[in-house]
Amino acid sequence: MSGPTRREVFLMTGAAMVPASAVAQETPRRGGILTVHFATEQRILNPSLQASTGVYIVGGKIQEPLVDIDGAGNPTPVLAESWESTPDGRAITFKLRQGVTWHDGRPFTSADVQFTAMEMWKKILNYGTALQQFLTAVDTPDAHTAIFRYERPMPLGLLLRALPDLGYVSPKHIYEGTDIRQNPANTAPIGTGPFKFLQYERGQHIIAERNPNYWRNGMPYLDRVVWRVVTDRAAAAAQMEAGQILFSPYSSLALADLTRLSRDPRFAVTTRGNEGNARTNTIEFNFRRPELADIRVRKAIAHAINIPFFIENFLGTYAKPGTGPIPSVSTDYYTPGSPQYGFDRALANRLLDEAGHRRGAGGVRFSLRLSPAPWGEDISLFATFIQQSLGEVGIRVEIVRLDAAGFLRTVYNDHNFDLASGWHQYRNDPAVSTTVWYRSGSPQGAPWTNQFGWTDAAIDRVIDDAATEVDPAKRRALYGEFVTRVQNELPVWMPIEQIFLSVFNRRMRNAGNTPRWASSSWHDTWLAP
């Protein structure tokens, strides 16, 4: 490819929002209140119990993980100061930070890590239960050493990439001996982070204030963080313009408002700070429909949809064509050169003819029901685009719209769909939430897993081998093999890559400077006057 892509141009403009020289010269200013858009209210705020962006945006400032990701995308110490693995990958030792206290004054020790890992990550935390399924024990030889013992080898790279999201620590003394799911600290979290929980008014706001005993000296700079619950997207955009909200994370505004705000000099609309939160748009095929179990039909559907046209006209600079389940932001595991399906309507028609689906009355070959997931304007637009594109090659598509609970139940439990379209979230390592889309044997009702009726012994073996392969080079090769095979078989097509968008008020400094900034602790963030 010659010249920079749209995404690169976009990222460059994002990076240019605050000139690097200006940042270097400016001295951080203490004080101020950062107001944040909170679009979907959560049942709990404790990130040791629920792994989702809606929890990190609040809980991630109050509680801290063992490890985070730095600006260059590498694991960086937070509550763990260092780590090492035995060569067989069965014991991983974390040296914990000393002199850290919980917000209630008790010291943070290895017992907290042990309790959180065994009782929360392994038993309750979504994605944590799968990641830690072979964790047998956490040994605590002293107050600042935690040794994770695994029944099967745990690749250190996988654990370190998963822990920023799945490694938040909760206080043992608050949770021990209680019903963890009902503990009041779930909505009034107690952590070690730069901000202390103060107040949660349901439907209105959450307030956290500066932790004066924070272990990073002199931090945080902000006095308070206030999350305002605004469910109406147009209203949220208006509140940003009125200055009532300074930061809107995770693409929570309408596409039209994002375009408008990006032209306003007061705001920066950018993917910066979300590079660790990539997602791909999916087309999921139900193999229980005989037509879709035929590889020629799946390929024909892919060839019938003009992805670059759709992106150019509907998503603009905020998306780019995807090449498979592992998005290009994943520098470690992205595999270029896998089989691709460019727009070719003649080829699509030929494939459908070959598959024996002749055009009948009105030029229709057969009909399919398409269920778009209800999150994201882009999914809804994409569904309409798929409907029209497939109509051109003689496949009549009926769009079945459902709300969140209805979508999950209908698609992933009842399997009552032909095509489904939604998002796949890539969480920094394919083993966290990507390979489950392809691994067979996932129990019925587990959302965002292979519920398509597709089984492939070879892919299952590659996935299992990669999940326990401790040699990074071999792991990378296995994921290369994985991508090539699923792109050939196409049980799920992931043709669009997106990164969440943030809208920053330009008064914000040190904002978006790490790949998971929106989820991170904001200890060094400050506000210019």
**Judged by CB under 8 A, does residue 490 bind another protein?**
no
Q: Which of residues 448-487 bind another protein (CB under 8 A)?
A: 448-449
Q: Is 409 in the site for another protein (CB under 8 A)?
A: yes
Find the part of the chain contacting another protein (CB under 8 A) among 46-54, 141-149, 297-305, 474-482: 46-54
Q: Which of 30, 90, 149, 228 binds another protein (CB under 8 A)?
A: 228
Angle at 512 between CA 436 and CA 95, to 5 degrees: 65
Residue 231 binding another protein, by CB under 8 A:
yes
- Rounded Cα–Cα distance for residues 386 and 384 (Å): 5
Contact 185, 46 (CB under 8 A): yes
Where would I find the beta strands (DSSP E) of 327-403? 366-372, 395-399
In this complex, which beta carbon is closest to another protein, that of residue 152 or of residue 224? 224
* 238 in contact with another protein (CB under 8 A): yes
For strands 224-229 and 395-399, give the pairing. Answer: unpaired
Binding to another protein by CB under 8 A, coded x per residue (else -) over 425-444, reads x-------x--------xxx
Helix (H) or strand (E) holding 93: strand 91-96
Q: How many CA atoms lie within 13 A of 79 on its CB side?
A: 31
Q: At its nearest, how many Å lie between another protein and the CB of residue 41?
A: 7
What is the rounded CA–CA span in Å between residue 168 and residue 68? 10
Stretch that binds another protein, among 212-220, 400-408, 465-473, 489-497 (CB under 8 A): 400-408
Contacting another protein within 165-224 (CB under 8 A): 181-182, 186-187, 201-205, 207, 224
Least distance in angstroms from the C-beta of 361 to another protein = 32
Closest CA to 188 of 180, 178, 174, 198: 198
Q: Are 338 and 484 a contacting pair, CB within 8 Å? A: yes
105 binds another protein (CB under 8 A): no
Is 127 an interacting residue with respect to another protein (CB under 8 A)? yes
Q: Residues 156, 89: contact at Cβ < 8 Å?
A: yes
Q: What backbone torsions phi and psi does residue 160 show, to the nearest 5 degrees?
A: -70, -30
Q: Does 527 bind another protein (CB under 8 A)?
A: no
Q: Which of 17, 28, 41, 288 binds another protein (CB under 8 A)?
A: 41
What is the smallest separation between the CB atom of 134 and another protein, expressed in angstroms? 14
In sequence order, which residues have a C-beta less than 8 Å from that of residue 93 and are 6 or more positions away?
83, 84, 85, 145, 146, 147, 148
Instruction: Provide the binding-site residues for another protein, judged by CB under 8 A.
Output: 33, 35, 40-44, 50-54, 124, 126-127, 129-130, 181-182, 186-187, 201-205, 207, 224, 226, 228-232, 234-235, 238-239, 241-242, 244, 375, 402-410, 413-414, 425, 433, 442-449
